[in-house]
Amino acid sequence: MLVFVSPSNPTGSVYTAEETAAIGEWALEHGIWVISDEIYQNLTYEGVKATSIVEAVPALAGQTILVNGVAKTYAMTGWRVGWMVGPADAIKIAGNLQSHLSSNVNNVAQKAAIAALNGPQTEAEQFREAFDRRRRLIVSELSKIDGLVVPNPLGAFYVYPDVQGLLGRTWDGVTPTTSLELADFILERAEVAVVPGEAFGPSGYIRMSYALGDDQLLEGVQRLQRLFS
């Protein structure tokens, strides 16, 4: 099974329609099932659109499970409401399993999710615009730190800079050599929380979320600028 996540956590990258189609066609050709996690599908920037893999390759629908939820688009993280869309037999079996693991999402959260999905989407768009503004702020401010390589993320609400240029250097008598050590150093000295690349794969990167207020975001990035100046 292929797990396809676009826009991505942790990188914030978004596959193009062509890339999505190529991956979908490959999965189809090889009879590989796909779980497509589309939870960030409404959070894209600079005119980029996240193409669903079944939109790109409709024939893949018979072997794809779409996963989505209200957590990101509607700022409902913690409400624990999501859904799957897929072939009826697969969904039925998944439902049987789910009913013994975490059955009965509380009714209030379900009602709230219905209201979010069926109500006007203007506030969701305002959230997206706020994220876009914060995205541009964090990318431009982080880029001022010597030793950081900051890609421009086009989706989700994360930035995933390459921190290898900071490793092996000494600040205040501390010499972080991995992104895990760097994350600890940042937490201790700047009181800014980042997730080290080790949580997702290789060392050398950190994930930073910009899902927070503009003022706090600026304060956090400025602390990093001071720490590494």
Instruction: Confirm or reject binding of residue 5 to ligand PLP (CB under 6 A).
Output: yes
- Please tell me whether residue 12 binds ligand PLP under the rule CB under 6 A: no
Closer to ligand PLP by CB, 93 or 199: give it: 199
Strand partners, 206: 196
- Note if the bond before 196 is cis, omega within 30 degrees: no
Span of 44-52, 69-77, 93-101, 136-144 interacting with ligand PLP by CB under 6 A: 69-77
Contact call for residue 77 and ligand PLP (CB under 6 A): yes
Q: Which is nearer to ligand PLP, 176 or 197 (CB)?
A: 197
- Contact flag: residue 37 with ligand PLP (CB under 6 A): yes
* Shortest reach from residue 37's CB to ligand PLP, in Å: 5
Q: Which of 154, 156, 135 is nearest to 217 (CA)?
A: 135
Identified binder of ligand PLP from the candidate list 20, 57, 64, 69, rule CB under 6 A? 69
Element (H, E) at 195: strand 195-196
List 21, 25, 75, 82, residue binding ligand PLP (CB under 6 A):
82
Contact indicator for 155, 13 with CB cutoff of 8 Å? yes
Return the number of the residue (79 or 228) whose C-beta is nearest ligand PLP: 79
Q: Which of 71, 84, 112, 149 binds ligand PLP (CB under 6 A)?
A: 71
For ligand PLP, which residue of 14, 27, 39, 194 counts as binding (CB under 6 A)?
A: 39
For 59-86, the DSSP string reads GGGGGEEEEEESTTTTT-TTS--EEEE-
The answer to whether 38 contacts ligand PLP (rule: CB under 6 A) is: no
* Dist CA 5 CA 36 (whole Å): 6
> Does 14 sit near ligand PLP (CB under 6 A)?
no
CB burial string 201-213: b at 16+ within 10 A, e below = eebbbbbbbbbee
What 8-state DSSP symbol labels residue 11? T
Find the radius of gyration of the CA atoms of the chain.
Answer: 20
Task: Using the structure block, give the residue that is written with the tokens 């329609």.
Answer: 17
Residues interacting with ligand PLP, by CB under 6 A? 5, 9, 37, 39, 69, 71, 77, 82
